[in-house]
Amino acid sequence: MLDEKILVDMDEIVSLCKRRGFIFQSSEIYGGIGGSWDYGPFGVELKRNIKNLWWRDIVQRRDDMVGLDAAILMHPRVWEASGHIESFTDPLVDCKSCKRRFRADQVQDGICPECGGELTESRLFNLMLKTFLGPVEDDASLTYLRPETAQGMFVNFANILEVSRKKLPFGMAQIGKSFRNEITPRNFTFRTREFEQMEIEFFVKPGTDEEWHQRWVQERFDWYLRYGMRRERLRLRQHQGKELAHYAKATYDIEYLFPFGWAELEGISNRTDFDLRQHSAQSGRELSYFDEETNTHVVPYIIEPSGGIDRAALAFLVDAYDEERVLKRKRVVLRFHPELAPVKAAVFPLLRNRPELVALAKDIASELREDMMAIYDDTASIGRLYRRQDEIGTPFCITVDVESLDDHAVTVRDRDSMEQVRVPIPEVKDTLLERLGKTC
């Protein structure tokens, strides 16, 4: 049984994100635009932390992985070879009365969920966003904004093999924006038209693919647990039959229990040799690997763990959200893992009209900033400042009071236990670094 208390309502998350500066609607002053969101000061830090941890764990700490940053705009033939022009479609239905459009799999019994009107037969709608390169908008200048970062890695296979001198199995990792003309962007940042992906393409010898697939499923599942996600809100689900993408032999989704139900956080697919063979055939360039053990050329199979950074950020936000009663008042706190917390420490003067306290607090914040995200704030009473930092998920608040001028110590408050301890000023940074795990 899940704890009802911690299953937060989505509206609560949306409102907190706006109130505290995590996420705003894009172009809000013009009425907003569907499926686009802007990350504010704390949202951008959260996303950066997710990306940095992923990169550290996947690229920096592994000997079998290299990074890549390929362009968003690619040759249009890439999308023919990849199968996206033909197969990257969603079935779409229109309401004959209100003219709204829906994904066919999201409506039931041919009835419009908005007005109850009759729906048309479904037809296929390509999800790639078109754009034109150069001054002439004709077929010759048509290309697409990439719908996945993956293809940049496949078309660079020969380059990477040559420069990295890696032997199978090895992988490429990439973080970047992708775009999809989603018919029904929904659930805040869960399904958007512009989003960031963190993708791995792991090249293995044919025949070892199923074993590597299982290894990566486990590895990626454990990654979310490592950064504090609640085990009971994560599950694995295998794709069945028609659900499989056109390139996949098998796919597992890591699903998270969002406020709107279980939904995909990351997909881990066995893409077989489909992509390398397709690009080889269409480009005329051989994309294979010379196996010295067997003296033969093989086309590697690809295992692809593909996650969304916006979805991970949303899941970590929802997961961190907690409410409790403190002195008969509601306390909202984001209990982020320290490495994910957007701000590690906030420093306040107890009295903002005492210049010596203000100067000392600013000095401490500036010293901390050398090693971690730290902020200075004196724009409210201490109680309110604590509440603000609890809602941002800041692990430590440091208060400089009148006594600090004599005993050269400050009060350090722990976000989760709310315990306050007195720490000598010269020891503050090391104390925090130790409690944060020295990795912020």
Write out the residues near ligand GAP by the rule CB under 6 A: 148, 150, 180, 182, 191-192, 195, 197, 199, 264-267, 304, 306-308, 310-311
- Compute CA 72 distance to the chain's CA centroid, rounded to the nearest angstrom: 18
Collapsing DSSP to helix, strand or coil, 319 comes out as helix
Q: Where are the alpha helices (DSSP H) in 195-354?
A: 209-226, 274-283, 309-320
CA distance 410 to 235: 44
Choose between 196 and 378: whose C-beta lies nearer to ligand GAP.
196
Choose between 57 and 182: whose C-beta lies nearer to ligand GAP.
182
- Give the residue from 268, 277, 289 showing the smallest Cα distance to 203: 289
Choose between 127 and 382: whose C-beta lies nearer to ligand GAP.
127
Q: How many separate helices (H) and strands (E) can be counted in the chain? A: 13, 23
Q: From the CB of 176, what's the least distance to ligand GAP, in Å? A: 11
Q: From the CB of 195, what's the least distance to ligand GAP, in Å? A: 4
Choose between 119 and 309: whose C-beta lies nearer to ligand GAP.
309
Q: For the chain, give the number of residues.
A: 440
Choose between 178 and 411: whose C-beta lies nearer to ligand GAP.
178
Choose between 49 and 306: whose C-beta lies nearer to ligand GAP.
306
Q: From the CB of 46, what's the least distance to ligand GAP, in Å? A: 15
Q: From the CB of 306, what's the least distance to ligand GAP, in Å? A: 4
Helix, strand, coil shares of the chain, percent, nearest 5, are 35, 30, 35
CA distance 413 to 428: 12
Please check whether residue 306 is in contact with residue 268, taking contact to mean a CB–CB distance below 8 angstroms: yes
Residue of minimal Cβ distance to ligand GAP: 308
Number of CB atoms found within 10 A of residue 132's CB: 13
Q: From the CB of 166, what's the least distance to ligand GAP, in Å? A: 21
Q: From the CB of 300, what's the least distance to ligand GAP, in Å? A: 16
Q: From the CB of 265, what's the least distance to ligand GAP, in Å? A: 6
Q: Which runs of E-coded beta strand occur in 293-437?
A: 296-298, 301-308, 321-326, 329-334, 345-349, 374-376, 396-400, 409-414, 420-424
Choose between 198 and 397: whose C-beta lies nearer to ligand GAP.
198
Please check whether residue 275 is in contact with residue 157, taking contact to mean a CB–CB distance below 8 angstroms: no
CA distance 258 to 262: 6
Choose between 155 and 410: whose C-beta lies nearer to ligand GAP.
155
Q: From the CB of 136, what's the least distance to ligand GAP, in Å? A: 30
Residues 205, 211, 215, CA angle at the centre, nearest 5°? 115
Q: From the CB of 209, what's the least distance to ligand GAP, in Å? A: 16
CA distance 192 to 47: 16
Q: From the CB of 309, what's the least distance to ligand GAP, in Å? A: 8
Choose between 152 and 338: whose C-beta lies nearer to ligand GAP.
152
CA distance 31 to 435: 44
Considering just the CA atoms, what is the radius of gyration of the chain in Å? 25
Choose between 189 and 399: whose C-beta lies nearer to ligand GAP.
189
Angle between helix 382-392 and 10-20 (nearest 10):
120
CA distance 363 to 398: 12
